[in-house]
Structure 1
Amino acid sequence: MEDKKRTLTKALTWQAIGFVLMTAINYFYLGSLREGVGLSTLLTLMGLVSYYWHEKLWARISWGRLTKN
C-alpha cells in the first residue's frame, strides 16, 4: 500500500504531463488557446480525481500481487 501523498503526487505529475499534451492538441483542433486550456482543465480535473480513486481502489485489492519471501 502507498502513502496518500505518494499517490497524490503521482496523480498530479501524470496529469500535468497530460494537461500540456491535451492543451496542444485542443489548441490545434479548436484553433483557440482559451478554449483549448478550458477543455484541458476540465478533462485534467476529471482525470485527476478518477486516477486517484482508481489507485486507492487497486491498493486494496490483493489479487495479482507477489509476496516477498
Structure 2
Amino acid sequence: MIFDQPIKKWFVDEEGKDTNVKSVLKSVSWRVVGTIDTMVISYLITGQIKTALSIGSIEVVSKMVLYYFHERAWARVSDNK
C-alpha cells in the first residue's frame, strides 16, 4: 500500500486517465501473448519451427505499433464523453 501511489503516477495522470507509459506496457504484454499464439499456430500449420519463429518475429513489431495507436485513439474517444 505504501508504494502503490508513486507507482500509480506512472500509469494514471492527474485526471485519472491512462498514461502513454501504461499504453506501451499494455502493448508489450499483449504482444508477448499474441506472438506466442502466432508462433504456435504457425508451427502447427507449417511443422517448421524456423518458419514459425520468423512469422512471430515480424508480427510482434508490427502489431505492437498498431496496438499502441489503437489504444491511444480509444483513449481520446473516452476523453470526449
Shorter-chain TM-score range: 0.7 to 0.9
2:49 corresponds to 1:21: no
State the match for 1:43 in structure 2.
59
Equivalent position amino acid for 1:58 in 2: W
- Report the Cα offset of residue 15 of structure 1: 0.5
Equivalent-residue separation in structure 2 for 1:20 and 1:64 (angstroms): 35
Equivalent position amino acid for 2:25 in 1: T
Percent of residue pairs bearing the same amino acid type: 23
TM-score (norm 1): 0.81
State the match for 1:5 in structure 2.
21
Match for residue 31 of structure 1 among 47, 65, 77 = 47
What is the aligned residue count? 65
Which of the pair has more CA radius of gyration?
2
Structure number with the bigger relative contact order (C-alpha 8 A, sep ≥ 6) is: 1
Return structure 1 stretches of 4+ with deviation > 2 angstroms: 62-65
C-alpha distance after superposition, 1:42-67 (max 9, x if no partner): 112111110000111121124785xx
Equivalent-residue separation in structure 2 for 1:62 and 1:18 (angstroms): 25
> What is the alpha-carbon root mean square deviation over aligned residues?
1.8
TM-score (norm 2): 0.70
